[in-house]
Amino acid sequence: MKDFPSCFGENGVQVAEASSSSETTVTKIAQNLVTCVYQSKMHNSSYVIITLTWTKNLMGQSLSVEIDDSNSECLCKLDIKPWLFSKRRGFKNLDAGSKTINIYWDLTYAKFGSSPEPITGFYFAIAMNRELILILGDMEKEAHKKIDATSLAPNAVFVSKRAHIFGKKAYSTRAQFCGKGQIHDILIECDTMGMNDDDSCLLIRIDGIPVMQVKCLRWKFRGNYTILVDGLPVEVYWDVHSWLFDKLTGNAVFLFKTCLSAEKLWGASEDESWSRMLSRVGQSQALGFSLVLCVWKSE
């Protein structure tokens, strides 16, 4: 559990002394934020890190894009606010030194669930020096008609996903643990209101199947456990200390992490490959995918 945070990254919310109304406001804002990180390997064997942050608040929905090189130097940043400014389809050309970056998006018919991240009806793509480095969404054919690139087969892997979710005793989200693998439903059930220590319990289900149960949670409020997803081991870390002992903030953190060797990562097919873990959690040098959930209680 070394370096496991109370909430993740720069978007973590810390409340020291606040009224209940302020806490509710912060919680609702935090709920509507998802950060996805991708690593794309170029044809010259260099790579870039792409961070997308999807946000929804009272002003509308927006998308922030940051592209860093392998030395963690920022190449460019861009904020797209299609709902606020009614610009749901667009193109942006950016100069980053010797690199030319083209960003394409169409969110006109995008469909959303409870998350600010679109589910279907959209595309988002990035090309660097006329090499496609990332494409997302289910409208790839439409995107390819717009993209000016000599290479249309990006070698990108999903690094990590960090999200806020909200609920009372049950908290649900979806996760895709590898490139274009199966999307799984994750349900976290937690009862911390038992009359004694033996009543508190944490249960995690994947696609409706129980995969992990922790009893006597007041004594085991932090820990880790290994589960199997798609036949591969996934390490689960949890920290529910705030739920049990700090009623002011009322948030818990869960980390799902899996690893593979670099050889298997780049040598596997697109459906089999796992992404390099570059999330802020622990700054591990291991390869794999990480899902970080900051979970908020609502009364």
pLDDT at 25: 42
Residue 12 belongs to some domain of the structure: no
pLDDT at 213: 92
User: Cβ distance 214 to 202 under 8 Å?
Assistant: yes
pLDDT at 299: 61
pLDDT in tens, 205-225: 999 999 999 988 888 889 999
pLDDT in tens, 229-239: 887 788 999 99
**Regions of the chain short of the pLDDT cut 70:** 1-31, 83-86, 178-181, 192-198, 247-250, 259-287, 299
Long-range CB pairs of 217-224, under 8 A, 24+ apart, other chains included: 217/190, 217/192, 217/244, 218/192, 218/244, 221/245, 222/1, 222/4, 223/1, 224/1
Residues 268, 189 share a domain: yes
Residues 101, 222 share a domain: no
Structural domain for 218, as ranges: 20-31+159-297
pLDDT at 256: 93
Q: Which tokens in the block code for residue 113?
A: 């669930």
* 192 contacts: CB under 8 Å, gap ≥ 6: 200, 217, 218, 240, 243, 244
Residue 242 belongs to some domain of the structure: yes
- Among the three residues 150, 170, 204, which one is the final residue of a domain in this structure? 150
pLDDT at 136: 93
- Among the three residues 150, 169, 197, which one is the final residue of a domain in this structure? 150
Residue 8 belongs to some domain of the structure: no
pLDDT at 149: 81
pLDDT at 29: 45
pLDDT at 196: 58
Provide Rg for the chain, Cα atoms.
20
pLDDT at 178: 65
- Total tally of structural domains belonging to the chain: 2
- Among the three residues 150, 183, 202, which one is the final residue of a domain in this structure? 150
